[in-house]
Amino acid sequence: MKANIAIIGTGGTIAGRGESSVNTSAYACSVVSVDEILSGIPELASLANLQAEQLLQMGSENFATEHLLLLGSRISRLLQQDHVDGVVVTHGTDTIDETAYFLHLTLKSMKPVVVVGSMRPPSALSPDGPLNLYNAILVASSPASRGKGTLVVSNDEIHTARDVVKTSTFKLESFRSPYGPLGYVVEGMPRYYREPARSHTLETPWSIEEIDRLPEVGIVYAHGGIDAGMVDAVTNARMSGIVYAATGNGNVAEHVVGALLRARREGLHVVRASRTGSGVVIRNGAQPDDKYDWLVVDDQAPQKARILLMLALTREARSAELQRMFHRY
**97 known ligand binder:** no
93 flagged as catalytic: yes
Answer whether 297's CB lies under 8 Å from 281's CB: yes
- Are the C-beta atoms of 217 and 306 separated by less than 8 Å? yes
DSSP for 212-252? Answer: S----EEEEE--TT--THHHHHHHHTT-SEEEEEEBTTTB-
The whole-angstrom distance between residue 146's C-alpha and the CA centroid of its chain comes to 19
Catalytic hit among 10, 24, 90, 93: 93
- Residue 85 known to bind ligand: no
DSSP tag of 276: S
Distance from C-alpha of 134 to C-alpha of 233, rounded to nearest angstrom: 44
Find out whether 10 is annotated in a ligand binding site. no
Q: What CA–CA distance (Å, rounded) separates 151 from 161?
A: 5
Residue 39 phi, psi (nearest 5): -65, -20
Q: Catalytic residue among 10, 13, 106, 201, which? A: 13
Considering only CA atoms, give the Rg of the chain.
Answer: 20
**C-alpha of 168 from chain center:** 16
Q: Is 13 an annotated catalytic residue?
A: yes
List, as own/partner pairs, every contact residues 188-196 make where C-beta atoms lie below 8 angstroms and the sequence separation is at least 24, other chains included: 188/138, 189/138, 190/138, 190/139, 190/142, 190/144, 190/145, 190/158, 192/144, 192/148, 192/158, 195/148, 196/148, 196/149, 196/160, 196/162
List, as residue ranges, the binding site: 60, 93-94
List, as residue ranges, the binding site for substrate: 60, 93-94
Which residues are part of the catalytic machinery? 13, 93
